[in-house]
Structure 1
Amino acid sequence: MSDFARRALVASNTPPAQAAAADLRDTYDWVPIEEADLIVALGGDGFMLDTLHAMLETRRSVPVFGMNLGTVGFLMNEWRLADLDHRLARAKPFRVSPLTMTATTIAGETRVLPAINEVSLLRETRQTAKLQVTVNDRVVLPELVCDGILAATPAGSTAYNLSANGPILPLGSALVALTPISAFRPRRWRGAILPEKARIGITVLDSEKRPVSAVADQREVRDVAQVDIAIDHLRDLTLMFDPEHALDDRITMEQFVA
């Protein structure tokens, strides 16, 4: 019997996930989310992010064991109905530390949002963005002319960050990737790998003429003037994986995918 006796079940609205959820409800016992010491999530990576964000909003964190009923399923385990107790007893925990984005708009409003994968800044019009970048209050890039920039966690380094030619960060590396998106000047700057304790500040230059939006995972704040980004260990999350489907190994092997 698994140590996680009180389990809650959540599933995306897709037909495959709903069918799998019905089978699991008929096979195992479940409790409401607020009583659970583990959540089983059925869906794809997007649904896993939604599940984790829901925990961040309620500030109640329990481990999540995902099973893939979506497309890629990078953050998920293989879907199987049988032997769930045995799988949970053998599952390996992986801690995920989210970023916190503090975005101040041109109008002076402030939004604070968490991001599990990345925080990205993107130009809103055909005009390129002009950004000033600081690390620990030190100006490291006086002017970056680009389509945008993003800061990614190790768990998110294989997502948008990788598609923008950013580095893959091993899970547990205590690093953050800072990656430009279509940098025009300085043309040779390809980004930086920073310690997770680093505080990143991004100031939008000429923000009225060259408006920029900031996105924490899928949540957007438009017309930002300043964005500050930092890791928040007080809100760490735990993902559970089958030993043969370890996330750190998957992230490592992504570096060899053609």
Structure 2
Amino acid sequence: MEKIAFVASEAPAAQEASAILTERYGTVPLEEAKVIVALGGDGFMLQTLHATQALPAPVYGMNRGTVGFLMNEYHEDDLLFRLAAAEEEVINPLSMVAYTTDGTRHEALAINEVSLLRAGPQAAKLRISVDGRLRLSELVCDGALVATPAGSTAYNYSAHGPILPIGSDVLALTAMAAFRPRRWRGALLPKSAKVVFDVIDPAKRPVMADADSRSVRNVVKVEIESRKDITHRILFDPGHGLEERLLQEQFV
């Protein structure tokens, strides 16, 4: 029998599913698992991927949350068969290095996106450089983000950013409610690009940075780049992988 480690969010439905599946299939410590089964929603899947980053086992999610874009359908039967037949997607996270007004340096990883958001009543003013070259001297907006293909249907899509094919070596740079330049909607960047946001007038126009819901307030500079040396392995039922889901989102 496959060595499975079950992990679940605090939601009652996830906890109930964990109890049922553990009794039926057994469970092992995360360090001994051949596969990790995450029960919850997309937020919990992201937490699980971050928490198990150093472990060799892939993660197979079953939806006990709401949207469940990164999850498979929940069924109690045939789990071993589903795991054996699952297709694997390998994704790389973004690294965020954020500097705050007091000089502190903060680091975090993001599987979906790194976003900068205004933290006060006035719009943020951002300066954007790519690979050391100034590309936009002033963006006045509610915020901006850099998204991976895996995260392109999340916050990025809500901000009218493009959906990126999962195998594409590109990142989406998307503005949120851009006031100036009025017609600027963002850019597609090579995966190798290093994006730097400098906050203009941070005392008057405070900005926070967020990497997969891990936030840093009062930032003055944020550096973002893809980490090809870090991989996350996600399992999906055949025909329901990220590539298919990303395509499907564009024809809804």
**Quick check: 1:61–1:237 contact (8 Å CA) kept in 2?**
no
- Partners in 2 of 1:153 and 1:114 — Cα distance? 12
For residues 31-85 of structure 1, what are the alpha-carbon distances to aligned partners after superposition, in whole Å with 9 as ceiling and x for unaligned? 10111121001111111011112124xx334200001111111100011111111
The aligned residue for residue 22 of structure 1 is 19
TM-score, normalised on structure 2? Answer: 0.97
What does residue 205 of structure 1 align with? 200
Listed as ranges, the gaps of 5+ residues in structure 1 are none
Does residue 195 of structure 1 match 2:187?
A: no
Q: CA deviation at 1:244?
A: 2.8
SS at match of 2:23: helix
For 1:109, which of 85, 89, 104 is the aligned residue? Answer: 104
Counterpart selection for 2:92 from 90, 93, 97: 97
Tell me the amino acid that sits aligned with residue 90 of structure 1.
A
Whether 1:251 and 2:246 are equivalent positions in the alignment is yes
Which one of 40, 43, 48 corresponds to residue 40 of structure 2? 43
The structural deviation recorded for 1:6 is 1.8
Q: Which moved more, 1:12-21 or 1:109-118?
A: 12-21
What is the correspondence of 1:97-246 to structure 2 with a 5 Å cutoff?
A: 97-246=92-241
Q: Percent identity?
A: 56
1:84 and 2:68 correspond: no
Please name the residue that 1:7 is paired with: 4
Task: Write the distance in 1 (CA, Å) between the matches of 2:251 and 2:203.
Answer: 43
Gap runs ≥5 in structure 2: none
- After TM superposition, the score normalised by the length of structure 1 is 0.95
Deviation track 1:147-178 (CA, whole Å, cap 9, x = no partner) reads 11000011110010000000001111111100
Moved more, 47-56 or 237-246: 47-56
Please point out which of 46, 58, 62 is paired with 1:67.
Answer: 62
C-alpha root-mean-square deviation of aligned residues, in Å?
1.1
Match of 2:247, SS state, is helix
SS in 1 for 2:17: helix
CA–CA distance in 1 between the matches of 2:241 and 2:55? 24
Aligned residues, how many? Answer: 252
Q: Distance in 2 between matches of 1:43 and 1:146?
A: 33
Task: Supply the distance in 2 between the matched residues of 1:28 and 1:110 (Cα, whole angstroms).
Answer: 44
